[in-house]
Structure 1
Amino acid sequence: MTPADGAEGCDLATDLRQAPLLAALSPAQLARLLQRASQVRLAAGQMLFRQEEPAERFYFLRSGQIRLFRLSSDGGEKIIELIRAGQTFAEALLFMGTGRYPVCAAALTEAQVVSIDAADFAAMLRESPETCFALLGDLSRRLHTMIAEIDSLALLSAQGRVARWLLQNSQAEAPALRLGVTKAVLASRLSIQPETWSRVTRRLVDAGVISVKGERIEVRNRAALQALADEI
């Protein structure tokens, strides 16, 4: 764990402003945050925190990928969210009052995270309504995303979930995407089995809707994919 200071601190301040939550901080607030922040480097697969551990800090992902997941009573894992560089996570603990992480966090790849003092940040929120509203806005956006995902899991078939995920992670003007994670991770995120992911993507390839080469998927027929994503 390393402190954030010097020239590295200047670069870090620029990176931190990528996150909607931290973009609203004044220069003085950001300097205060950096004084109490530290950087953590994680190897692929390394745990950052575990479900039910005392929660005293939240995090900004500077590079790499992090998976947030819950453990079931039988030891199974359910991936809740995949965190990408430029995002904050575990900030909801500022309002929860339980003092414990509701999920586990582990690195999917080599990762660099910034660890932020939650109590001091909460004090800044009390001093700055603008920052507080920025946090609420960010949490509201993520809540709406989660609600949409719950609808998807409840209403869509496995094929519909895969189709919707492909649409959400590609663009009409840039139809190709790189998975960046294993099929097992993606399948868990969509609440399907890895073999189901393989079967659905193979079916989409055969229908000419997508093409697959290694980790690269290209959407060839966006309209057809949209029709599958809209089926209930």
Structure 2
Amino acid sequence: MPAPQRTGGRSMTRIPLHAEDRERARVTFRENPLFSALDDEQLERVLDRTRLARLDPEAQLFEQDQPATDIYLLESGRIKLSRISPEGQEKVIHLVAPGNTFAEAVLFSGMARYPVTATALNACRVYCIDLQTYAGILRESIDACFAVMARLSRRLHEHVAEIDRLTLHNATFRVIAYLLDQIPEDQGGPDTEIRLDIPKHVIAARVSITPETLSRTFSRLQKQGWLSVQDNLIVVHDVDRLRQYIREGA
């Protein structure tokens, strides 16, 4: 087995897909829109050039401006995508959830380097898919190419909505919107529980507020009776009330 790489004081190991991991990856890839349009032969070519990365919490998968060699699919854990400003401040661009791909924008942008840093927030398993292999398959498959473009289009719309949220609304709106993003649209009865699986200071950075402002916002919402906070467990007492707040403020 390859020796672990040390990244930021934490370890990361990349290994080829063995039989059990390959079968697991095959199922996971088939459920993802970037790979569901591939035929069996194309998918096997992708898997041939895919490695499995295991990351410790806080280990970096890649750094901003590092040469791009792979695109990624997160199997488990959470990944933070961030950029460092010229002033040295970290801006959290996106928090990747399991089952989602990231870094695929390098396929079409012409960028030879990653525009962000990818850091594990907890123990992660990530599929590292060879960039050139997948790009070659896209040239063969119109369906696969359109699937990637649809994915990037959705992400663009999400980023535009995020810019509106961060520039046009106050801290309370941003925090409530973040919490609602953690609740599926078809769920949300009385006392809905949200268990935060990432540190609160990362959530604060994601919604562009300070950790102190996040704490004050949680305290204010608790006093209003909208939710309760116990460590990393948030209990939303009335999801419809929060959704109404967002609709009225949008």
TM-score (norm 2): 0.89
Deviates more, 1:178-187 or 1:215-224: 215-224
Q: Aligned residue for 2:197?
A: 180
Deviations 1:91-149 (A, max 9, x none): 00000112010101111101111111111111101100000011111111111111111
SS at match of 1:20: coil
> How far apart are 1:77 and its partner, in Å?
0.6
CA distance in 2, matches of 1:120, 1:15: 18
Shift of 1:18: 3.0
**Are 2:91 and 1:71 aligned?**
no
Q: Which residue of 2 aligns with 1:26?
A: 39
Are 1:223 and 2:244 matched, yes or no?
no
Q: Tell whether the 8 Å contact from 1:159 to 1:228 is kept in structure 2 after alignment.
A: no
Q: Distance in 2 between matches of 1:89 and 1:203?
A: 35
Bigger CA drift: 180-189 or 8-17?
8-17
Aligned mate of 1:200, from 217, 233, 249:
217
2: CA distance, partners of 1:190 / 1:179: 15
Task: Tell me how far apart the structure 2 counterparts of residues 116 and 124 of structure 1 sit (CA, whole Å).
Answer: 12
> How big is each residue's C-alpha offset from its partner over 1:51-86, in whole Å with a ceiling of 9 and x where there is no partner?
111112111111111100001123211000001111
C-alpha distance in 1 between matches for 2:61 and 2:21: 22
Amino acid at match of 1:73: P
Tell me how far apart the structure 2 counterparts of residues 212 and 39 of structure 1 sit (CA, whole Å). 36
| In structure 2, distance between residues paired with 1:81 and 1:17 | 24
Runs of 4+ in 1 over 4 A off after TM superposition: none
The answer to whether residue 230 in structure 2 is matched with residue 213 in structure 1 is yes
RMSD over aligned Cα atoms: 1.4
Q: Does the 8 Å CA contact 2:46/2:129 hold for their aligned counterparts?
A: yes
Structure 1 contact 5–35 (Cα < 8 Å) conserved: no
Aligned pairs (5 A) from 1:35-54: 35-54=48-67
What is aligned with 2:158? 145
CA contact (8 A) 2:188 2:240 kept: no
5+ residue gaps, structure 2, are: 1-13
2:167 matched residue in structure 1: 154
Give the partner amino acid of 1:208.
Answer: G
Task: Provide, for residues 19-49 of structure 1, a one-character-per-residue CA deviation record: whole Å limited to 9, x for no partner.
Answer: 2212222211111101011111111001111
Match of 2:98 in 1: 85
SS at match of 2:111: coil
Identity between Structure 1 and Structure 2 (%) = 42
Letter paired with 1:198: S
Kindly indicate whether the alpha-carbon contact (under 8 Å) linking 1:71 and 1:77 is maintained by their aligned counterparts in 2: yes
Q: CA deviation at 1:173?
A: 4.1
- How many aligned residue pairs are there? 232
Please state how far the C-alpha of 1:228 moved relative to its aligned partner.
3.2
Distance in 1, matches of 2:181 and 2:20, equals: 37
1:8 paired residue number: 21
Instruction: Tell me if 1:115 matches 2:128.
Output: yes
Paired residues of 1:5 and 1:34 also in contact (CA < 8 A): no
Amino acid aligned to 1:172: G
The answer to whether the 8 Å contact 2:106/2:114 transfers is: yes
Give the TM-score of the pair, scaled to structure 1: 0.95
Aligned residue type for 1:39? L
More helix per residue: 1
Deviation at 1:6, TM superposition (A): 1.6
Gaps of 5+ in 1: none
